């Protein structure tokens, strides 16, 4: 799964990587992004327009579900195309969620021991996401997850679906809606690019820990 991440790369740099317009204002660095908050995401713009940066609520609940629907933060790659709650978004409303790394916790550790997971070259990551319009007209999103791979699997059995550079445009493409076509065009990054290390348990409390020191080795 993915329940916490960090994003501190400037949005103008991320915009250049993914081919979007540069946002007017850079977001403040966040080292402990939690669900139920507004996050930066990239989605396709209007027809024939370039992708754009948008602000989305991390919690997916389509407006047709009203206030009674679940608000998941993750969607499993194995079922996102067929699950009734997600399949329309998977076909028509896919997004990219930028991050510099994410946190997972060693199971059965007391206190819960977080690890920070990122690329070995410290390049930014782009998580595959889906989104839908919420009842209030804003957008809510979920991060697509896959089975843990490589070093990340040492910490948790699930991880975000992290797309390689060549897949970004295909994931956002509005005319690519078929599951098998998406599977043929979209690929995750090589597992060998991922590493992790233990960090402070201050990560466990987002209200108390938000500084750069959170990603330092414990």
Which superfamily does 5-215 belong to?
SOS response associated peptidase-like (3.90.1680.10)
The C-alpha atoms of residue 37 and residue 138 are separated, in whole angstroms, by: 13
pLDDT at 115: 97
The C-alpha atoms of residue 210 and residue 200 are separated, in whole angstroms, by: 12
Residues 6+ apart with CB under 8 A from 139: 41, 43, 54, 55, 56, 57, 131, 132, 133
pLDDT > 90: percent of the chain: 79
Q: How far is CA 111 from CA 51, 54, 80, 200, 202, in A?
A: 42, 36, 33, 11, 11
| pLDDT > 90? residue 154 | yes
**Active-site annotation holds for 141:** no
pLDDT at 23: 76
Torsion of CA 173, 176, 181, 184, to 10 degrees: 0
Catalytic residue among 49, 78, 104, 135, which? 104
Residue-wise pLDDT tens digits, 136-151 = 999 999 999 999 999 9
The C-alpha atoms of residue 61 and residue 177 are separated, in whole angstroms, by: 20
- Whether 101 and 215 have beta carbons less than 8 Å apart is answered as yes
Mean pLDDT of 177-206: 95
Residue-wise pLDDT tens digits, 1-60 = 789 999 999 988 999 899 888 777 777 899 999 999 999 999 997 767 789 999 999 999
Catalytic residue among 2, 95, 118, 141, which? 2
The C-alpha atoms of residue 88 and residue 58 are separated, in whole angstroms, by: 18
The C-alpha atoms of residue 167 and residue 183 are separated, in whole angstroms, by: 10
**Active-site annotation holds for 104:** yes
Q: Which of 206, 163, 200, 199 is nearest to 18 (CA)?
A: 163
């Amino acid at each position: 799964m993915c329940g916490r991440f960090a994003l501190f790369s400037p949005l103008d740099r991320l915009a250049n990587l993914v081919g979007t317009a540069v946002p007017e204002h850079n977001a403040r660095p966040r080292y402990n992004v939690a669900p139920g908050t507004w996050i930066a995401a990239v989605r396709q713009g209007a027809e024939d327009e370039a992708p754009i940066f948008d602000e989305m609520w991390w919690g997916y609940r389509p407006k047709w579900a009203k206030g009674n629907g679940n608000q998941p933060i993750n969607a499993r790659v194995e079922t996102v195309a067929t699950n009734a709650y997600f399949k329309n978004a998977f076909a028509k409303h896919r997004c990219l969620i930028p991050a510099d790394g994410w946190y997972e916790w060693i199971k059965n550790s007391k206190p819960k021991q977080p690890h920070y997971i990122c690329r070995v070259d410290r390049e930014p990551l782009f998580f595959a996401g889906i989104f839908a319009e919420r009842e209030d007209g804003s957008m809510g999103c979920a991060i697509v997850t896959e089975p843990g791979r490589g070093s990340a699997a040492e910490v948790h059995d699930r991880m975000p679906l992290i797309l390689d550079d060549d897949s970004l445009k295909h994931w956002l493409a509005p005319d690519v809606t078929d599951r098998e076509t998406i599977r043929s065009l979209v690929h995750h990054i090589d597992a060998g690019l991922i590493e992790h290390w233990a960090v402070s348990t201050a990560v466990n409390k987002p209200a108390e820990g938000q500084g750069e020191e959170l990603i330092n080795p414990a």
